[in-house]
Amino acid sequence: MSTIQENAGTAPKDEPKKKLKRELSMLGMLIGIALIFEILGWIVVGQSFLGNQQRLSIIILQVSVVGIIAIGVTQVIITGGIDLASGSVLGLAAMVAASLAQSSADTRAIYPLLTDLFPIWPLLAGVAVGIGTGVISGGVIAATGIPPFIATLGMMVCARGVAKWYTTGQPIPLLTPEFTWLGKSFLVLGFPLPLPVIIFAVVALIAHVSLRYTRYGKFTYAIGANPQAARVSGINIGAHLIKVYAVAGLLSGLAGVVTAARAASAQPAMGTAYELDAIAAAVIGGTSLAGGVGRIGGTVIGVIVLGIITSGFTFLRIGSYYQEIIKGMIIVAAVVADQYRRNRQMKI
């Protein structure tokens, strides 16, 4: 087993320098984008873009949910796969969690006998939904060998359909204050820090440690870098893929719970297109769609970059249509840059 770990984790001596260079490059891009919007803010509307505490709080809240999803998506992409279902799973988990978090004041509660439940039960239900969908997606991929794109595309459609069926398309309102506390509370550390951001930070830290220092991480990178070599080394690829997709599903479910708590309600359309933002954040953060390359730190920076870009466009009153066009161009540019970098490494 030690041989497997060594083979999976072996890297050239100059690899730490390359990783540091990539991270510094991402950090430079983050600072550069922030400075651009700051300058444009003063020029266009005569206000500071990042100097407003309320605006900064909104930016952080906007990226926290996508960030939680992106951490799971990053692990899937590192294996050479893709997860298109995360946004729909978020919506389904939000609906299930909200149905168990309704107040007794709601006379039309879905489960009248289960109102005013302690928040841990809706939380566990939402996370369980995410894990279940991840296990199904990973299991289908492992058992049939179909491309992850097809398996998760099918799950995306199914999860969204089940979310709509669950309440025949109706929203779920009037959630208990104890449950909404998960999405609306703040921890004061010199300044108010939203709880969703703390959850995002804790998830990112756990994922970073898991990928960098555990066998789970070594196997994840090994499968993405060279599946055949990983199989020859004794790694059970199918079983490990189920674990990775289950983790991604768990994080999508957690994101759904946080989203429902923030909104104090749930509706089937929640999380629409979030999977695209999550994939974009991972790719911008240096995760290669070819597999085998990616870091949680890079994804966190990618999430923040997307948050600054989105909030900056809104602050500068740029229309939503133009925002989507520019965001798409950024995704394509990030993929092209990754492909260019890989081609250069192959020539060397």
State the CB neighbour count (10 A cutoff) for residue 147. 12
Site of tokens 């700051």: 38
Return d(Cα 257, Cα 253) in angstroms, integer: 6
pTM over 0.95: no
Answer whether 284's CB lies under 8 Å from 302's CB: yes
**Averaged pLDDT, groups of 10, the chain, 348 residues long:** 42 59 68 73 66 69 92 97 96 97 89 92 97 98 96 97 95 94 82 87 96 96 95 95 98 97 95 92 88 91 85 78 82 79 68
Give the containing element (helix H, strand E) for 192.
strand 192-194
232-to-10, 79, 237, 348 alpha-carbon distances in Å: 16, 16, 10, 26
Confidence (pLDDT) at 16:
64
Answer whether 76's CB lies under 8 Å from 282's CB: no
Q: Nearest to residue 81, comparing CAs of 315, 255, 296, 294?
A: 294
Three-state DSSP state, 104 = coil
Confidence (pLDDT) at 326:
81
Three-state DSSP state, 215 = helix
The encoded tokens of residue 61 equal 């809240």
Dihedral sign for Cα atoms in the order 48, 50, 51, 53 = positive
Please state whether 84 falls in left (phi above 0), alpha (psi between -120 and 50) or beta. alpha
217-to-70, 220, 241, 244, 254 alpha-carbon distances in Å: 16, 5, 12, 10, 21
The encoded tokens of residue 332 equal 């394509």
Helices 53-78 and 274-284, axial angle in degrees (round to 10): 80
The encoded tokens of residue 194 equal 């939203």
Confidence (pLDDT) at 193:
82
